[in-house]
Amino acid sequence: MSPSMIGMSFIVLGILLLLGKWVRVVTPHLQKLFIPSSLIGGFLALILGPQILGNLIEWSEYENTLLALLAGGIFPQDMLTVWAALPGLFINIIFATLFLGKKLPGIREIWNIAGPQVAFGQTIAWGQYVFGIMIAIFILTPFFDIDPVAGALIEIGFEGGHGTAAGMASTFEEVGFPEGADLSLGLATVGLLFSVILGIILLNYGVKTGKSVILQDPGEVILEKSEQAGIVGFDARESAGKITTRPESIEPLSLHFAYVGVAIGIGYIILQVLRLIEEFTWGRATGIYLLEHIPLFPLAMIGGIILELFLDKFDKYKTLDRNLMMRIQGLSLDILIASAIATLSLDVIGGNLMPFIILSVAGIVWNVAAFLLLGPRMIPTYWFERGIGDFGQSMGMTASGLLLMKIADPDNKSPALESFGYKQLMFEPVVGGGLFTAMSVPLIFNFGPVPVLILTTIIMLFWAAAGLLYFGRK
């Protein structure tokens, strides 16, 4: 493939992101749903690609006219090939940046401040495995002949989001369930949409029933028009980051990108060492290989934590700025979502439509039920404001949780935002794209769904008991 095609692929993707932003600005309904511009841009690419526009031309009476030139969509196949490779690359950047530049407190401090939300969030995440695997065992495999690893799709798609779903594509391929990547991306899209739709409904419900401590007027749930459009007002605009080095020595953004590369490199070394250990120990003795199916991105996150600890101790100039790192993360996430949706296989989802609907409904019902039934019993104070953030994250992604918390507590009068941030430090390394998320598919593939169901049930019950019996009684 020519370098010019690779460059053109990024240029066109940038145009699609810009079009997605323009569509959101001029479409009030999309603004009210807070749909990211990257998701809109990805769907524009999907519509104009071979799966929708191309098929419409083939099915129409224009197949013998000049329009037949669009039978493959408006994008060259080489461009689609480039886009298909981007999610697997950029997910490593996203996870490497998760903790770079973020102060890492001790476990005791995290537990004291965010313990209830840690227990609540972990319960929801492990419950997604429990119900997903049960559905796979009792419904999907016997009635639809779906691979049992589909039991992990709810957590990968809902809790993990588009990034994790795209990053797991190679793992699904290796275990012989390639359609899992498209199904999990579809679930991530459903989760993201319903996280906002149901979140707004729950916010209004909380206000009307008095469950919200901060919001007392149903009209407070509505954001300003500029906020709905995703535009920051002139007076509220903040710096995107600090210039920590003189540009003539090294551009600050280049330095931060280099830090990301080091973090990913550390993760790669860790992964290779772990695979060597597996090769010469239990792998050779039992023939069971788990780590060879684990993607790089959760280890890139560990690499980021190691690099952050090193810089915090030895970088006396404090050259790493958290806001700049967040901009790199945000750019990578936008590119990942747009390219992943643009290359989503509608044939896979259409061919597995009923299993897809069953998993979607099960995930939505569990998340809503956990928020309404477990939230007030596990989080002793400001349960609604704190729990709505975990609900948003468990359905869509971290940004969804932050959005719902901003609406529920616009002036940060409750400990919701602080607790949510601390909770992530004990949450993301394990589930929601963490180590167990990456291992869940290989575990089911090698040991079967029943042992993994037993394991996840025990862990879910542990966290539920911690929330109900320890934090809930405070």
* pLDDT tens-place string over residues 314-354: 999 999 999 999 999 999 989 998 999 999 889 899 999 99
pLDDT at 57: 72
Q: Are the C-beta atoms of residues 165 and 187 closer than 8 Å to each other?
A: yes
Q: Are the C-beta atoms of residues 23 and 46 closer than 8 Å to each other?
A: no
Checking if the pLDDT of 82 tops 70, the result is yes
Q: Per-residue pLDDT averaged across 130-137, rounded? A: 98
pLDDT at 177: 95
Checking if the pLDDT of 222 tops 60, the result is no
Q: Higher model confidence: residue 69 or residue 254? A: 254
52 falls in which pLDDT band (50, 70, 90)?
A: confident
> Residues with Cβ < 8 Å from 174, sequence gap 6 or more?
292, 293
- Block residue for tokens 């298909």: 84
Q: What's the pTM value of the predicted model, to 2 decimals?
A: 0.87
Side chain identity at residue 369, one-letter code: A
pLDDT at 294: 87
Q: Per-residue pLDDT averaged across 117-123, rounded? A: 95
pLDDT in tens, 417-474: 888 888 888 888 899 888 999 999 999 999 999 999 999 999 999 999 999 999 877 6
> What SS3 state is found at 242?
coil
DSSP state of 224: P
CA 420 – CA 431 distance, rounded (Å): 15
Percent of the chain past pLDDT 70, that is, above it, reads 93
Tell me the two tokens of residue 326: 């967040």
pLDDT at 404: 85
Checking if the pLDDT of 61 tops 80, the result is no
Checking if the pLDDT of 305 tops 90, the result is yes
CA 216 – CA 209 distance, rounded (Å): 9
CA 103 – CA 94 distance, rounded (Å): 18
CA 278 – CA 155 distance, rounded (Å): 26
Checking if the pLDDT of 271 tops 60, the result is yes
Side chain identity at residue 134, one-letter code: M
Instruction: Report the sign of the C-alpha dihedral through residues 211, 213, 214, 217, in that order.
Output: positive
Checking if the pLDDT of 71 tops 80, the result is no
pLDDT at 58: 64
Q: Per-residue pLDDT averaged across 35-60, rounded? A: 84
Other CB atoms within 10 Å distance of the CB of residue 262: 17
Checking if the pLDDT of 67 tops 70, the result is no
Residue 232 backbone zone (phi > 0: left; psi -120 to 50: alpha; other: beta): beta
Checking if the pLDDT of 19 tops 90, the result is yes
Checking if the pLDDT of 97 tops 70, the result is yes
64 falls in which pLDDT band (50, 70, 90)?
A: low
Checking if the pLDDT of 63 tops 90, the result is no
Side chain identity at residue 183, one-letter code: L
Checking if the pLDDT of 358 tops 90, the result is yes
Q: Higher model confidence: residue 84 or residue 223? A: 84
pLDDT at 110: 81
47 falls in which pLDDT band (50, 70, 90)?
A: very high
Mean pLDDT, all residues of the chain:
88
208 falls in which pLDDT band (50, 70, 90)?
A: confident
CA 122 – CA 59 distance, rounded (Å): 48
Beta strands in 18-57 (DSSP E): none
> Residues with Cβ < 8 Å from 456, sequence gap 6 or more?
126, 129, 130, 133
Checking if the pLDDT of 121 tops 60, the result is yes
CA 474 – CA 470 distance, rounded (Å): 7
pLDDT in tens, 369-423: 999 999 999 999 899 999 999 998 898 777 778 778 888 887 778 888 888 888 8
DSSP state of 381: S
